[in-house]
Structure 1
């Protein structure tokens, strides 16, 4: 009798394949989105997203740096309605979260940068377009109103550099980020070993990739040609590949040229790279509005200090009115909370939204924004803070490293 009841409870129906929406609904963390992306992308493309430079020490250190910090919550506080809203460089945002610039996004999904920008606009978050994007400045500007930023690489051809600056201003971009960590391309060994090229070339390895993920290649072939869209109108633009375009960046750029860029750009200006305290002060004194602390997600110089560990010393050196943006290693809303407690104004993600885009297109990126914002809101409540301003103000009291307090006691008065 008991056996017959047990058998009656067993369903032998073969479950129907999950739809994309169902698969996305089962993603509750950034890692879940990454796993879904890995099922849909060829290995070489996944390695392009995941890989770092040389031994990938910085890649590992970036996430580990955030994981080292520990919270010391404040209890018996009214956190019935924690407010994630904040102001970033003079503009309101729904949360201290943004989408960092990434190159060649339409290779990840034909939806590309416009899908990321739409998701960011819908979530009330800033999005930075890369010079190396597969959507042009003007194409993105034609989409929904959003807080659009532009990451600039300085070219040996200065006329091309300042033409990009003019185009960004004319298209209504609000923030310009000058990348200062790309004097030469990083040595990304996964791409080298995979024979990975942009645009993709058919090799024995890529043919195996096609066989493993035919759906990806079908979508790619049906989409518009991949190109560096912001350079497509240049006479030599169509000839650029990932192998030769790095040679166009100018390794001779110095501080003396920053004044000309500051004069040419009417909006907010940030330096983006692994900027230490002394360089941050120098940039501030030259009229730069802030820094974007980043080691390119570990894709440029290996063994650089994790950006998380630069936040507090840069804040202490540069003062309260200097903007600090940070990326590289953020995988959870608790990482965003730690970044703000250390003194940052905004945390940005790159790889996570590429995984989300590969997993489910624009809805995937929207899901990522929902997940990270929700995690951040919950962390705020459990920390006993009701607003972003309170989190930043009380950060030194709420955060410690694995070995004890990590912030100097005199940092507290510096924060607004």
Structure 2
């Protein structure tokens, strides 16, 4: 096998190793996928300034995220259905993040539960919350995160209604996986994946099964979400969650300057500038294009994080140059997980670290905390 040198290499391996429905759940976006494409294109359009004859023999990538020391400014983003990309995927991702020294975020829509992951790692992780119609159930999720000693709560704001993801519908994506002729033929060509997932700790929503009647038997993921996610959510609900949660609070899914100002006034410890990876409002701008204005307006009030199209260490540098303190990776770490389990996640993180380190040196920068717009060409 050719050596793995990039996230693109891990993506290719993942595509070969897992069923199409699972791969495209992570890989694709909503509707025409214009925002998905724009996330990558807008990052690629930013050009780094090559500098020479500057002593960069000693370099530092370590910093903090919401006060937590990290080896580089990258966190693993919350992703649903992770345990279907590789058996016990959330546990493996959390272990890899812990070993590497970066935060791991467990999704409400995870396969392994909060308790599963807490029992498998030695350090606190972050928990991502979707507020459901049943506020009592949402409250119980917060209480479980507190009991598990999660060190931050990531409240996702941009999924009151799910954007239509055509590939999921065409692939018949479901939990547990729907047995159609096409799916069975596809799975038959991935016996290693099937055996691992069947032997995994769980194969349905770990945080929801046994607590939400029927959550593991509906025909499609979209059908379940349509019945549980709440279009009536408002900023009052953020205040309610803030009253329940005693720790660090991160608000994820901010893309508009007006919303960013409101979010900063809630007292949140950080906001994540994000368009949900191009999986929600298709036609919304690339996350990186709105980052500078948001960072300038509210960066003095709350920590700015970035999400949307990160595929390399250079992408991380560009986001930090435009005002982010740190970044989240979603698709990239799922490619690594599907390609090689825990080692694949470590490989993802190491690829990003090495690319960041080399690119930082070639821009004449010694410390990640010193990165600003000066590493980009002025036209950026």
Residues 1:89 and 2:89 are matched in the alignment: no
Does structure 1 conserve the Cα–Cα contact (< 8 Å) formed by 2:124 and 2:149? no
Q: Give TM-score scaled by structure 1 length.
A: 0.87
Does structure 2 conserve the Cα–Cα contact (< 8 Å) formed by 1:275 and 1:291? no
Does structure 2 conserve the Cα–Cα contact (< 8 Å) formed by 1:270 and 1:289? yes
CA apart distance, 1:225: 4.1
Deviation per residue, 1:235-265 (Å, 9 max, x gap): 5144455133212011101112221211111
| Partner residue in 2 for 1:265 | 245
Residues 1:227 and 2:204 are matched in the alignment: yes
User: Could you tell me which of 107, 124, 134 is aligned with 1:130?
Assistant: 107
| Partner residue in 2 for 1:15 | none
CA apart distance, 1:283: 1.4
| Partner residue in 2 for 1:143 | 120
| Partner residue in 1 for 2:55 | 78
Please identify, of 366-375 and 320-329, the stretch whose mean Cα deviation from structure 2 is larger: 320-329
| Partner residue in 2 for 1:353 | 333
| Partner residue in 2 for 1:317 | 297
| Partner residue in 2 for 1:16 | none
Q: Distance in 1 between matches of 2:222 and 2:238?
A: 27
Alignment CA distance shift 1:322-1:74 (3 Å): farther
Residue aligned with 2:95, SS: helix
Deviation per residue, 1:98-118 (Å, 9 max, x gap): 110001111111131000000
> Where does structure 2 lack aligned partners over 5 or more consecutive residues?
none
| Partner residue in 2 for 1:63 | 40
Deviation per residue, 1:38-78 (Å, 9 max, x gap): 12122222222211100011110111111011112444322
Q: Distance in 1 between matches of 2:121 and 2:212?
A: 30
Residue aligned with 1:244, SS: helix
Q: Give TM-score scaled by structure 2 length.
A: 0.95
CA apart distance, 1:360: 0.9
> Where does structure 1 lack aligned partners over 5 or more consecutive residues?
1-22, 407-416
CA apart distance, 1:232: 2.2
Does structure 1 conserve the Cα–Cα contact (< 8 Å) formed by 2:94 and 2:104? yes
| Partner residue in 2 for 1:331 | 311
Residues 1:303 and 2:291 are matched in the alignment: no
| Partner residue in 1 for 2:79 | 102
Q: Distance in 2 between matches of 1:171 and 1:180?
A: 23
Deviation per residue, 1:209-252 (Å, 9 max, x gap): 13332332233333344111111231514445513321201110
Does structure 1 conserve the Cα–Cα contact (< 8 Å) formed by 2:54 and 2:364? yes
| Partner residue in 2 for 1:203 | 180
User: Could you tell me which of 217, 223, 233 is aligned with 1:244?
Assistant: 223
Q: Which has the larger radius of gyration?
A: 1
| Partner residue in 2 for 1:405 | 379
RMSD: 1.6
Aligned length: 377
Deviation per residue, 1:279-308 (Å, 9 max, x gap): 111111121122112211111111111111
Does structure 2 conserve the Cα–Cα contact (< 8 Å) formed by 1:100 and 1:128? yes
Does structure 2 conserve the Cα–Cα contact (< 8 Å) formed by 1:72 and 1:398? yes
1:1-40 aligned at under 5 Å gives the runs 23=1, 26-40=3-17
Deviation per residue, 1:80-99 (Å, 9 max, x gap): 01100001101100001111
| Partner residue in 1 for 2:162 | 185
Does structure 1 conserve the Cα–Cα contact (< 8 Å) formed by 2:264 and 2:301? no
